[in-house]
């Protein structure tokens, strides 16, 4: 069993008996093999482990992108598996922000326009979307670059734009899949420090995956996955092994 988060409020996530299987040709792949996990509101969590351990699979479930083969997921008090496709899409659009290792910025749009885009899709009026986008570019230190297209930005700057875009909609959850994989070591630490700062300032729950244990020093909670199981659930000031 995973340790409960140190929070008195109702948890954001509760996962029970989560299994995820894939079929590759005639081979059955058991990506997750029985995950029990609770994540509190406002937590900052790193999911780490070797390649093939199930990190991205678990993150896709937490990001409401995928569904488990077996088990139960409760997100913000709702049974995720009981929601219709339209309801799931609505939760993703309004409650979850995503950051990816490849940035996924639209190359023909400026930094400001990239941050505005999901707001406009949500139906936020243009003037309000522009103001919120400017505010978030300021929060990630890129006010002076709002008119720059992605090809004029460094990798670290592109990821900061992606973080601003993910948070401009004021989601409850920020999901980041290997957000530093394409960055050098110094920039990687800067990006994780930025996410940690925004987590403290806004209270948004942040969950990211990494294969690099050097990034874990600023993360209050660290989940290690091995062979589709949580092998360790560690807080910054305590560490206890979790055995299957």
- List the domain boundaries for the chain: 41-65+84-241
Residue 240 has pLDDT above 50, yes or no: no
Distance CA 195, CA 173 (A): 12
| CB atoms closer than 10 angstroms to residue 73 | 20
What's the average model confidence in pLDDT over 197-222? 92
pLDDT band at 213 (very low <50, low <70, confident <90, very high): confident
Can you give the pLDDT at residue 160?
97
Can you give the pLDDT at residue 221?
96
What's the average model confidence in pLDDT over 191-204? 94
What's the average model confidence in pLDDT over 168-189? 94
Please state which CATH class domain 41-65+84-241 belongs to: alpha beta
Q: What is the pLDDT of residues 27-48, one digit of tens each?
A: 999 999 999 999 999 999 999 9
Where is pLDDT greater, at 208 or 217? 208
Can you give the pLDDT at residue 9?
66
Cβ pair 218, 193 in contact under 8 A: yes
Residue 147 has pLDDT above 70, yes or no: yes
Strand order in the sheet with 96-100: 96-100, 173-177, 205-210, 44-48, 221-226, 229-235, 238-241
């Amino acid at each position: 069993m995973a340790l409960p988060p140190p929070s008195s409020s109702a948890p954001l996530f509760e996962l029970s008996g989560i299994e995820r299987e894939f079929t590759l040709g005639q081979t059955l792949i058991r990506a997750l093999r029985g995950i029990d996990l609770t994540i509190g509101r406002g937590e900052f969590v790193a999911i780490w482990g070797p390649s093939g351990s199930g990190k991205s699979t678990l993150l896709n479930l937490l990001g409401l992108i995928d569904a488990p083969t077996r088990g139960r997921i409760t997100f913000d008090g709702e049974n995720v598996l009981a929601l219709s496709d339209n309801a799931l899409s609505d939760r993703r659009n309004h409650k979850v922000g995503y950051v990816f290792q490849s940035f996924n910025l639209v190359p023909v749009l400026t930094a400001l326009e990239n941050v505005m885009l999901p707001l406009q899709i949500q139906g936020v009026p243009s003037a309000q979307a522009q103001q919120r986008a400017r505010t978030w570019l300021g929060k990630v230190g890129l006010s002076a670059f709002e008119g720059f297209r992605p090809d004029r930005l460094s990798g670290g700057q592109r990821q900061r734009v992606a973080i601003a875009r993910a948070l401009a909609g004021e989601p409850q959850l920020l999901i980041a899949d290997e957000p530093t994989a394409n960055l050098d070591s110094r920039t990687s630490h800067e990006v994780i420090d930025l996410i940690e700062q925004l987590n403290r300032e806004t209270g948004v729950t942040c969950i990211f995956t990494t294969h690099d244990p050097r990034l874990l020093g600023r993360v209050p909670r660290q989940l290690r996955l091995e062979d589709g199981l949580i092998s360790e659930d560690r807080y910054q000031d305590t560490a206890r092994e979790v055995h299957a």
